[in-house]
Amino acid sequence: MAGRSFQHLLSFLMLLLLCAKPGLGNVTGCIERERQALLHFKRRLVDDYGLLSSWGDEHDNRNCCNWRGVQCSNQSGHVIMLHLQAPWSENLYQSLRGEISPSLLELDHLTHLDLSYNDFEGSSIPPFLGSLSRMQYLNLSQANLAQTVPTQLRNLSNLLSLDLSDNYLNFGNLEWLSRLSSLRHLDLSSVDLSKVIHWSQAINKLPSLIHLDLQNCDLPPIPPLTIPSLSHGNSSVPLVFVDLSSNHLTSSIYPWLLNFSTTLLHLDLYFNDLNGSIPEYAFGNMSSLEYLDLQWSELDDEIPDTIGDMGSLAYLDLSGNQLWGSIPDTVGKMVLLSHLDLSGNQLRGSIPDTVGKMVSLSHLDLSRNQLQGSIPDTVGKMVLLSHLDLSGNQLRGSIPDTVGKMVSLSHLDLSRNQLQGSIPDTVGKMVLLSHLDLSRNQLQGSIPDTVGNMVSLKNLYLSQNHLQGLQLLFLPY
């Protein structure tokens, strides 16, 4: 019975489907005018890899809706999407070459155009693209496009996503962006924005923008405000993701960023010129921030205590700066943190006991600082830790027995310190450990038998210590 009614339901659904989709009944399923336009478009391209071989005139492939990369509307039969990103195969992008033909204008229902990773041989973005007014998604990433961006693109008022990254484009300004009021996702990374002084004001005018990627654009610093106004979260731009890494930004960026302090989840500023301190006023209020990368940013002050107030952080990288002073106790408040990198600074003092409170940590790197004191027992509480690097400091005392409790550890580097005493038996409990470096310390005694229990061990470095019995050691690899 159940089977029968299921069958009935099925045929009813099929009927519904057929009625709802008149296009389904057509033999060609493709509008002739648009088919001709696509064939024109193909003629202007050089197709070295035969990617468009399905685009033909022969009887069995006349239906352009079945051509590679072409998608038609089930309702109207119009071509709505062209997905022609170059495929990666045999170690190269199989790019189309040639020029973007104006015949695309015939595809006036087009909402998606993806020509990324093709090779348009240094030509400019054709201005006619600005007339494809239904366009929602335009991706011209890494397509060997050059020269200036046509201001006609400002007409694409339905655009949700624009990716012009990795091209040789010049931008005098970004004023043309201001009418893209629906834009949610903007990627201009690796294009030259060095002359766009007022780029931040252009971004302020995009009321729907969520995702902004301007990495590696030669971005100049924001001109400092004459009357600095620190309005927290006062922007109407709902930015969630911001990548401004590898630019020339200075601390004048903070008042602008503060405008998004209530919405930002991801902030990448590494490789800039943010000399000075990590301003409490800036990051202290970014209460929802989950990802903060400030590595290689010329920071040269103490880490503020308020860092611990960023209670949503899961990823924090402050490596490669000139930060000094000690690691604040408050780090222990960041209970959601899974990645903490403070390596390559000038941090002193001892490692705070509170590290053990960061129970979500999986990656902790404090290497290449001037940390003193001993390794706190509390490290054993970081049971999710898989990568621990404390190398290149001035740590003394013995390796705590509690290391054996870090059962998730796969990489442990304590080299280049002044650790003494013997290697604890408990190391044998770290059965996932594949890399163990204890070299260049002052460890004594014999190597515990339990080393043989570390069944995952691939690399073991114990040289330049005062250990005995190295030559007798049986290692499981």
Ligand X SMILES: *[C@@H]1O[C@H](CO)[C@@H](O)[C@H](O)[C@H]1NC(C)=O
Which chain residues interact with ligand X by CB under 6 A? 23, 26, 29, 31, 74, 77, 85, 116-117, 130-131, 139, 141, 152, 155, 161, 163, 185, 187, 200, 204, 231-232, 234-236, 255-256, 259, 275-276, 280-281, 284-285, 306
| Identity of the residue, 240 or 407, whose beta carbon is nearer to ligand X in the bound complex | 240
Shortest Å distance, C-beta 319 to ligand X: 19
Shortest Å distance, C-beta 462 to ligand X: 43
Shortest Å distance, C-beta 208 to ligand X: 13
- For residue 122, what are the CA distances in angstroms to 45, 86, 99, 125, 145? 14, 17, 10, 9, 5
| Identity of the residue, 258 or 436, whose beta carbon is nearer to ligand X in the bound complex | 258
CA atoms of 457 and 477, how far apart (whole Å)? 8
Tokens of 282: 């800036």
Shortest Å distance, C-beta 22 to ligand X: 7
β-strand pairing of 70-72 with 79-83: antiparallel
Shortest Å distance, C-beta 235 to ligand X: 4
β-strand pairing of 45-46 with 97-98: antiparallel
Tokens of 327: 């690691």
**410 contacts 433 by C-beta, under 8 angstroms:** yes
Output the residue with the shortest Cβ distance to ligand X. 77
Shortest Å distance, C-beta 100 to ligand X: 15
CA atoms of 412 and 373, how far apart (whole Å)? 18
| Identity of the residue, 26 or 53, whose beta carbon is nearer to ligand X in the bound complex | 26
| Identity of the residue, 98 or 255, whose beta carbon is nearer to ligand X in the bound complex | 255
CA atoms of 422 and 467, how far apart (whole Å)? 8
CA atoms of 204 and 222, how far apart (whole Å)? 13
| Identity of the residue, 116 or 216, whose beta carbon is nearer to ligand X in the bound complex | 116
| Identity of the residue, 310 or 409, whose beta carbon is nearer to ligand X in the bound complex | 310
| Identity of the residue, 44 or 248, whose beta carbon is nearer to ligand X in the bound complex | 248
Shortest Å distance, C-beta 251 to ligand X: 7
| Identity of the residue, 151 or 464, whose beta carbon is nearer to ligand X in the bound complex | 151
| Identity of the residue, 285 or 434, whose beta carbon is nearer to ligand X in the bound complex | 285
Phi-psi region of 233 (alpha: psi -120 to 50; beta: other; left: phi over 0): left
| Identity of the residue, 186 or 436, whose beta carbon is nearer to ligand X in the bound complex | 186
**345 contacts 317 by C-beta, under 8 angstroms:** no
| Identity of the residue, 275 or 312, whose beta carbon is nearer to ligand X in the bound complex | 275
Q: Give Cα 215 to chain centroid, integer Å.
A: 11
DSSP element (H, E) containing 257: helix 254-258
CA atoms of 231 and 87, how far apart (whole Å)? 46
Shortest Å distance, C-beta 256 to ligand X: 4
Shortest Å distance, C-beta 132 to ligand X: 9
Shortest Å distance, C-beta 106 to ligand X: 15
- CA torsion sign for 281, 284, 287, 290 is positive
Shortest Å distance, C-beta 311 to ligand X: 13
* Closest to 44 (Cα-Cα) out of 114, 112, 126, 108: 126
User: Cβ contacts of residue 73 below 8 Å, gap of 6+?
Assistant: 23, 80, 109
Q: What angle do CA 391, 394, 399 make, to 5 degrees?
A: 70
User: Cβ contacts of residue 391 below 8 Å, gap of 6+?
Assistant: 367, 368, 413, 414, 415, 416, 417, 437
- CA torsion sign for 100, 105, 109, 111 is positive
β-strand pairing of 92-93 with 88-89: antiparallel
Shortest Å distance, C-beta 437 to ligand X: 36
CA atoms of 69 and 81, how far apart (whole Å)? 8
| Identity of the residue, 221 or 356, whose beta carbon is nearer to ligand X in the bound complex | 221
